[in-house]
Amino acid sequence: MNLVSVGFFLAIVSLTLVVTFIAAKRTSSAADFYTAGGGLKGWQNGFAIAGDYLSAAAFLGVSGAIALTGFDGFFFSVGYVVANLVLLYVIAEPMRNLGRYTLADMLTARFNEKRIRGVAASGTIIIVILYMIAQLVGAGALIKLLFGIEYWIAVLIVGVMMTTYVLFGGMTATSWVQIIKASLLLFGTGVLATLVLMKFDFSLMKMFDTIATDHGEKFLVPGMKYTSTIDSVSMMMALVLGTSGLPHILMRFFTVKDAKTARSSISWTTWITAIFFSLTIFLGFGALNFVGIDKILAESKAGNTAAPLLANFLGGDVLMAFIGAVAFATILAVVSGLVLTGASAISHDIYGEIIKGGKLTEKQQVVAARTGSISIAIVSIILALFAQNLNVSFLVSFAFCIGASANLPVILYTIYWKKFNSTGAITAMVTGLVSCLVLGAMGPNVWSPVEGAAIFVGNPIVPLAVPAIITIPLGFIAGYLGTVLSSNKVPQEEADRIYKEIRVKANTGISVSDISH
C-alpha cells in the first residue's frame, strides 16, 4: 500500500464522516432516520438511486466481465439501464403515493394484516442479507488486493464504517455517501473511458478492429459465457424486473416529498446509468487490450480488478489509487443502504408494527432503528467472515431473482388488481421467495462437477444459473390462484372500499400532498 492510496483512502473516510456528522444533527425522528424526512431533491435522490445500481458488482464486475467474456458481460449493462423504465412507468409514483418507510407499509395500506407485514419484512431481510454477504465478501477480497490489508480486517473496516454512517446519520448520511460515491464513480469512469478512447484515436471502429484482430471475433458476439438462449433470457428477466422489487431501491422513493419528485429522481438515474453503462464498453475492452486476460485472471478469477489494473496502465499509481478509493467508496455506500433497509424491516415492520402494534413513541422508534442497524450489521459481518473462501458473487443475482419473483408480482397486484386479496399476497410472496431459493440452491452456482467452481461438488439438478424464467411466472400465478381460490378475510364491501381508496391515492397522490401541506 503506497502513500497515494492511503491519502485517497483517508480522504474518502474523512469526507464521509463529515457528511455523517452533519447528517446526525438532522436525524432525530423515525422519518429522518428511514427516509431523510422525505426531504431529498429529485437530483439528489436520482444520484443516490444510481449509487444503489452502481454497486461494486456493477462497476468492477461488469468491466471485468466484458474484458473476459466480451459481449456476454455487456448483457448486464443493458439490463441495468432498461430496468429504469420499469421503475419509472409502473412502480415509482404509486410507490411514493402509497408507502411510508417500507415495502410492507405499502402492502399493508391495502391489507392491514400482520402476516402480510411479516412475510414482506422477512423477504426484505433475506434479500438484504444475501446482497450484503456478496458485497462484503467482494469488498474484503478487493481491499485486500488494493491495499494489502488482511481479509478479516478489511471486512471489519467496512463493517464499522457502514454501521457508523447508518447509526448516526440514518438515511441522510446514507444518501449523501451514495451521492458522493456516484459522482466520483461517474468522474473516474469518464476519465478512464476518455483515456482508452484516446489510445484508439477517438475511433470506436478502431477499438472494435483492434479487439477483433488481436483478441478474436468471439469477443464481439455472445457465447463466451452464455451458450444457451434460455439461460441469458432468464438472467435478463431477473435484471430488468428484479430492480423494481429490490427493497433498498424501493425505499428510496420514500425519501422524496411527492410522486413528481420520485419521477424526476428516476429521470436523473436513467441518464446517469445510461452514461455510466455505455462507458463500461471502454473499461472492459480497454482492460482486455492494454492489461490482457492473463494479467487480469492472475489477480482475480472473476476479473474484478480489471478496472483498477486498467487505471494503473493508463495513469500509473495515482489513477489506480483513485479508482481503488472510488471502488472502496462504492462498497461502503451500497452496504450502508442495505443496513438501513434491513433495519427498517426488523425495527419498523417486525418490532414496531407487529410486536408493539405500532404503539412506539418517536424516541422508541429511533432507538429501535439504531438497535436494528447494529444487529443486521453484526450478523452480516459474521456471515461474511465465514464465507471468505466461497464464491458468493452469484448471491446478487439471487437477490434480483427474489425481487422479481416475490416482490414485483405482489406490488403490481396491490396497485392495479381490484380482486387481489391478502391470501393471494401471501401465496405470491412465499412462492416467489421459496422457488428462487430452492431452484437456485439446486443450480450450477451451488453445484458443479468441477471442484472449487461452486460451493458443492456434484451435478446441478436445475440447469439455470438464475431461475427467474420459472420463478417470476410462478410468483404471478401463485398470487392469482391464492386470490381466486380463497375467500376474502374482510367483507367484500370493506375490501372494495379500501381498493377504491388505494386507487385514488395511487393515481392522484392526494394523501401524500395533504400530509406535506
Partner 1 sequence: MANISGSKNIESVDYNAIEAMESFNKFVKKKNTFLFSITAIFLTLYILLPILAFQPVLQQKFFGNITGVWVYSAGLFIMTIVLCTVYVKKASSFDKAAAAVLAEYYEKGGK
Which residue, 259 or 387, has its beta carbon nearer to partner 1?
259
Distance CA 415, CA 473 (A): 18
Cell matching residue 444: 450450477
Is 490 a binder of partner 1 (CB under 8 A)?
A: no
Distance CA 27, CA 31 (A): 9
Which residue, 237 or 376, has its beta carbon nearer to partner 1?
237
In whole angstroms, the minimum distance from the beta carbon of 221 to partner 1 comes to: 5
Contact pick of 71, 147, 176, 200 for partner 1 (by CB under 8 A): 71
Residue type (1 letter), 204: L
- Return the half-sphere exposure (C-beta side, CA atoms, 13 A cut-off) of residue 505: 22
- Contacts of 87 by beta carbon, 8 Å cutoff, 6+ apart: 243, 244, 249, 266, 269
Is 505 a binder of partner 1 (CB under 8 A)?
A: yes
Is 295 a binder of partner 1 (CB under 8 A)?
A: no
Which residue, 311 or 412, has its beta carbon nearer to partner 1?
412
CA geometry: angle at 421 spanning 415 and 423, to 5°? 130
Is 93 a binder of partner 1 (CB under 8 A)?
A: yes
Is 362 a binder of partner 1 (CB under 8 A)?
A: no
Is 198 a binder of partner 1 (CB under 8 A)?
A: no
DSSP string, 77-106: HHHHHHHHHHIIIIIHHHHHHH-SSSHHHH
Site mask, partner 1, residues 408-447, x = CB under 8 A?
--------x-------------------------------
Cell matching residue 489: 378475510
Contact pick of 3, 201, 205, 487 for partner 1 (by CB under 8 A): 205
Is 86 a binder of partner 1 (CB under 8 A)?
A: yes
Is 221 a binder of partner 1 (CB under 8 A)?
A: yes
Distance CA 58, CA 61 (A): 5
Site mask, partner 1, residues 233-262, x = CB under 8 A?
x-xxx--x-------------------x--
Which residue, 11 or 204, has its beta carbon nearer to partner 1?
204
- Contacts of 222 by beta carbon, 8 Å cutoff, 6+ apart: 70, 71, 72, 75, 232
Which residue, 239 or 436, has its beta carbon nearer to partner 1?
239
In whole angstroms, the minimum distance from the beta carbon of 511 to partner 1 comes to: 6
Burial class (CB in 10 A: 0-12, 13-18, 19+), 156: middle
Which residue, 269 or 431, has its beta carbon nearer to partner 1?
269
Q: Report which secondary-structure segment, H or E, holds 5.
A: helix 3-25
Contact pick of 16, 45, 77, 336 for partner 1 (by CB under 8 A): 77
Q: In which residue are the cell numbers 380482486 written?
A: 419
Is 229 a binder of partner 1 (CB under 8 A)?
A: yes
Q: Which stretch binds partner 1 (CB under 8 A): 155-163, 277-285, 401-409, 455-463?
A: 277-285
Residue type (1 letter), 318: V
Provide, for the chain, the percentages of residues in helix, strand and coil under a 3-state DSSP scheme, each rounded to the nearest 5: 80, 0, 20
Is 361 a binder of partner 1 (CB under 8 A)?
A: no
Q: In which residue are the cell numbers 424516541 written?
A: 363
Is 278 a binder of partner 1 (CB under 8 A)?
A: yes
Which residue, 161 or 346, has its beta carbon nearer to partner 1?
346
Q: How many of the chain's residues bind partner 1 (CB under 8 A)? A: 70
Contact pick of 276, 277, 394, 480 for partner 1 (by CB under 8 A): 277
**At residue 357, what are phi and psi to the nearest 5 degrees?**
60, 30
Is 508 a binder of partner 1 (CB under 8 A)?
A: yes
* Burial state string for 410-423 with b = 16 or more CB within 10 A and e = fewer than 16: bbbbbbeeeebbbb
Cα dist. 133→341, 377, 385 in Å? 15, 11, 9
Is 53 a binder of partner 1 (CB under 8 A)?
A: no
**At residue 257, what are phi and psi to the nearest 5 degrees?**
-80, -30
Q: Interface residues with partner 1 (CB under 8 A)?
A: 71, 74-75, 77-78, 81-82, 84-86, 88-90, 93, 98-100, 105-106, 108-109, 112, 204-205, 208-209, 211-212, 217, 220-223, 226, 228-229, 232-233, 235-237, 240, 260, 263-264, 266-267, 270-271, 274, 277-278, 281, 353, 358, 416, 497, 500-501, 503-505, 507-511, 514-515, 517
